[in-house]
Structure formats: structure tokens, C-alpha cells
């Protein structure tokens, strides 16, 4: 693998990951761009004990452009995109409209009365382009390309973990307009947060209170032993529908060996991920006969705390409950945080296993 670091016209960093060590990445960004926005602000909610980011500049971000104006496609002699190269394998660059940034502005966050603390929304947001093919999807990638994406995820996690003030790194993909994507080109994102996220804190609190061994490892062992909800497995990975799935179709993919984060995976585990994950995605796509909208979220250990409790895993879930029907987070889910699933997890697992590939 070859890793090439360069910069866009406004100073944002761009990193190419290539299978071919001989490739030369010397194309320059020909655009005239304004400076990147300064960091957002974060506000502490004392009632829910969590931080909320305020990033008003994101209102102007690109929204569902036509394919010939896609900012993630390679540049051409007549049109410049976010990626100056005329072709690429995997590319990662700083988001032009970041929710968190290391670029501090000249104005401090406002002082709010009462118990709400405000701070600079320090961190970093990156875009990961999985392929230069606009019409592809992650499910259509080859195992070798997935392996290269895995290298990019691990590389960025390791580097972002070293940034002062970053407490957690989150790699994810949103796919499909039903999920809320604003760009159709196959891509994901990486957020480096200045705090440990609420969901991670809650999971790790549960792991800390657990009186057995490692909570995540024991859940995985129980699912592997039962097999009732297992979808895909190989020597190094197991994918299953959790017994308490909140979404109509939700799958968790665990390495069989406990590691805290992506950089800790062995070469053999990285090789084995692609075949397992690609089968998961193709089963989802085959369920209703059209591309399944989904969110794919890596749960990694925080940078500085509870790494001994953490267990890397990938959560993939869809709001599509049936053809033409979506699962909306309505009153109970949005108002009280109590999920009501319309599909039994065991039935979902069975349907996914029955998909013909």
C-alpha cells in the first residue's frame, strides 16, 4: 500500500491510499477556495449529561448535486472536484463543512447563563471515498478494495487518536436518501470528537458494572453458541442480529478476538473482514430486491479511558422495515428513547440467511 499526503487549495489535508506503490499523486487542486471554517462550538446539556455541537456553517453544505457535479468524483481536465487526481483507489480528505475542527476562530464561544457550559468544538471531520466509481457501492467493492479501506480507517484512527483534545474516533457510512445522505458517491466519514460520545459512555458503564468477564465478549460467545441469530461467520469474524435489535434489520459484526480499535486488528483479521462484511451487505441488498439504506457504525475504544473494557465492533442497521415502508423514530423512540421494533430479531436473521446470493 502507498500512502500519499497532499493539500487542497484551501489548505485542507488530502491523503491517497493506493494498492500500486508506483503510482504518482502530484496533481494540484486548481480551484480558488475560501479558507475553511473555524471550529464550531459545543454546549453541555446538564440534564442529559452530554455535549451538543452547534455548527451553523453546515447549512450551506452540498446537497444532492447531479452526478456530473459530484464533488467526490475524480477531477477532469475541465472540472475540478475535492479530489484533484483523475482517478484514485481510496482517498481521505478533511471535510469542507466540518462539525468539529482543529481550526480555532477569532471569536470565543458565547457565555451562556445558567448551567450550560460552552467550548470550542475542537476535533476533526474527514471524508473517506471508497472508490472513484460514482455508480458503485460498498457492497460492490472487491475484498482487496475493502482491505485498502480498512487500512485507511486504521491509519486515520491511529493518527486522529494522537491529536490533543480528541477523546474518541468514529468511522461510519450513511447510505441511501432514506437515511439522509446528501451525496450518492460511495463514501463514509470519520469524526474525531472532543468528548466520549453518550452511546459509548453508556455501553462502557454497562461493561464496568458487569460481574462476569468482558460483557461484549460474553454476548458474542452466547450468540455464537446459540447460532439462532448468526448471519455470517468465518475464522476471524461473526455477524449476528442482536437479540435486542432496535431496528427492523440490524446486524453486529465482531472480530472473534477482543481488540479495542481498528489499528489493533491483525493482518489476518483485516483480510477476513472484507468477505464477511460484503456478504452482510449483499444479503441486506437482496432482502427486498433493491439497495438497502443503512448506517454502518464502528464502535471503537475511547482514546484515554476504558480501553480495557472496550470491544471493537461494527453495527449496521436500516430503517427499511418492508418494501415501501420505513421505520420512523416517532413518539416513543424520539421522545422517550424507547425503541419498538416491528420485526422479531430471530425472524430478521432467518430472512437474511435465506437471501440467495
Beta strand pairing status for 294-299 and 249-255?
unpaired
**Residues 82, 59 within the same domain:** yes
**Residues 208, 150 within the same domain:** no
**Residues 25, 149 within the same domain:** yes
Query: Do residues 125 and 89 lie in contact, with contact meaning Cβ atoms separated by under 8 Å?
Result: no
**C-alpha to C-alpha distance for 23 and 33, rounded to whole angstroms:** 27
Domain count, the chain: 2
**Residues 120, 204 within the same domain:** no
pLDDT of residue 5: 98
pLDDT of residue 107: 60
57 is in an annotated binding site: no
Q: What would the DSSP string read from start to end of 298-330?
A: EE---SSS-TTT---EEEEEESEEETTEE----
**Residues 146, 279 within the same domain:** no
pLDDT of residue 38: 86
**C-alpha to C-alpha distance for 152 and 207, rounded to whole angstroms:** 29
**Residues 210, 307 within the same domain:** yes
The C-alpha angle with vertex 292 and arms to 242 and 326, in degrees rounded to 5, equals: 80
Q: Nearest Cα to 40, choosing from 103, 90, 111, 131?
A: 103
Q: If the chain, 357 residues long, is cut into consecutive pieces of 10 residues, what is the mean pLDDT of each piece?
A: 97 97 96 91 94 86 86 96 98 95 75 83 96 97 98 98 96 94 95 98 98 96 98 98 98 98 98 98 97 98 97 97 93 95 97 97
**C-alpha to C-alpha distance for 90 and 150, rounded to whole angstroms:** 10
Q: Of 135, 167, 196, which one is at a domain's C-terminal end?
A: 196
Cell of 119: 467550548
Burial zone of 258 (CB within 10 Å; 0-12 exposed, 13-18 middle, 19+ buried): middle
Mention every residue, 6+ apart, whose C-beta is less than 8 A from residue 8.
14, 29, 31, 33, 82, 84, 93, 94
pLDDT of residue 111: 76
pLDDT of residue 316: 98
**Residues 7, 138 within the same domain:** yes
pLDDT of residue 265: 98
Q: Nearest Cα to 240, choosing from 225, 252, 249?
A: 252
**Residues 175, 264 within the same domain:** no
**Residues 210, 311 within the same domain:** yes
Range of the domain at 73: 2-196
Q: Of 136, 168, 196, which one is at a domain's C-terminal end?
A: 196
Give the H or E element holding residue 230: strand 230-233
**Residues 23, 163 within the same domain:** yes
| CATH code (residue 231) | 3.30.428.10
Q: What would the DSSP string read from start to end of 143-202?
A: HHHHHHHHHHHHHHHHHHTTSTT--EEEEEEEESTTTT-S--SSEEEEEEESS--HHHHH
70 is in an annotated binding site: yes
**Residues 160, 114 within the same domain:** yes
Cell of 255: 472480530
125 is in an annotated binding site: no
Q: Where in the sequence numbering do the catalytic residues fall?
A: 187
Mention every residue, 6+ apart, whose C-beta is less than 8 A from residue 195.
42, 51, 167, 168
Q: Where are the alpha helices (DSSP H) in the chain?
A: 143-160, 198-209, 215-226, 267-288, 345-354
**Residues 59, 203 within the same domain:** no
Query: Do residues 230 and 238 lie in contact, with contact meaning Cβ atoms separated by under 8 Å?
Result: yes
User: Alpha carbon of 52 to those of 120, 197, 266: distances in Å?
Assistant: 11, 10, 35
Q: How far apart are the first and last CA of the chain?
A: 30
pTM of the model: 0.96
pLDDT of residue 35: 93
Query: Do residues 318 and 251 lie in contact, with contact meaning Cβ atoms separated by under 8 Å?
Result: no
Q: Of 169, 196, 223, which one is at a domain's C-terminal end?
A: 196
171 is in an annotated binding site: no
**C-alpha to C-alpha distance for 83 and 93, rounded to whole angstroms:** 8
Reduced to 3 states (helix: H, G, I; strand: E, B; else coil), residue 33 is: coil
Amino acid at each position: 500500500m502507498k500512502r500519499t499526503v497532499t493539500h487542497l487549495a484551501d489548505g485542507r489535508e488530502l491523503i491517497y491510499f493506493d494498492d500500486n506503490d508506483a503510482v504518482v499523486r502530484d496533481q494540484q487542486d486548481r480551484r480558488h477556495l475560501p479558507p475553511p471554517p473555524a471550529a464550531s462550538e459545543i454546549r453541555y446539556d446538564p440534564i442529559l449529561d452530554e455535549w451538543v455541537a452547534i455548527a451553523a456553517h453546515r447549512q450551506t453544505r452540498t446537497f444532492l448535486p447531479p452526478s456530473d457535479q459530484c464533488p467526490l468524483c475524480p477531477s477532469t481536465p475541465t472540472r475540478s472536484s475535492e479530489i484533484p487526481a483523475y482517478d484514485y483507489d481510496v482517498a481521505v480528505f478533511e471535510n469542507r463543512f466540518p462539525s468539529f475542527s482543529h481550526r480555532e476562530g477569532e471569536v470565543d464561544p458565547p457565555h451562556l447563563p445558567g448551567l450550560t457550559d460552552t467550548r470550542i468544538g475542537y476535533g476533526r471531520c474527514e471524508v473517506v471515498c471508497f472508490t472513484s466509481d460514482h455508480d458503485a457501492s460498498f457492497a460492490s467493492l472487491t475484498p482487496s478494495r475493502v482491505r485498502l479501506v480498512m487500512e485507511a480507517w486504521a491509519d486515520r484512527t491511529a493518527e486522529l487518536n494522537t491529536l490533543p483534545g480528541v477523546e474518541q474516533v468514529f468511522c461510519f457510512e450513511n447510505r441511501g436518501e432514506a437515511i439522509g445522505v446528501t451525496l450518492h458517491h460511495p463514501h463514509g466519514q470519520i469524526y474525531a470528537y472532543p468528548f466520549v460520545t453518550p452511546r459509548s459512555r453508556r455501553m462502557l458503564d454497562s461493561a464496568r458494572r458487569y460481574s462476569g468477564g468482558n460483557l461484549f465478549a460474553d454476548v458474542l460467545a452466547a450468540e455464537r453458541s446459540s447460532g439462532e441469530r448468526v448471519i455470517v461467520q468465518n475464522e476471524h469474524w461473526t455477524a449476528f442480529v442482536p437479540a435486542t435489535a432496535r431496528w427492523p434489520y440490524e446486524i453486529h459484526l465482531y472480530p472473534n478476538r477482543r481488540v479495542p480499535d481498528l489499528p489493533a486488528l491483525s493482518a489476518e483479521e483485516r483480510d477476513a473482514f472484507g468477505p464477511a462484511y460484503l456478504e452482510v451487505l449483499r444479503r441486506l441488498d437482496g432482502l427486498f430486491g433493491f439497495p438497502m439504506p443503512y448506517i454502518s457504525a464502528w464502535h471503537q475504544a475511547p482514546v484515554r479511558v476504558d480501553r480495557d473494557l472496550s470491544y471493537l465492533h461494527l453495527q449496521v442497521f436500516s430503517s427499511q422495515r418492508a418494501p415501501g415502508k420505513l421505520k420512523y423514530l416517532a413518539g416513543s423512540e424520539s421522545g422517550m428513547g424507547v425503541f419498538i421494533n416491528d420485526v422479531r430479531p430471530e425472524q430478521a436473521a432467518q430472512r437474511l440467511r435465506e437471501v440467495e446470493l
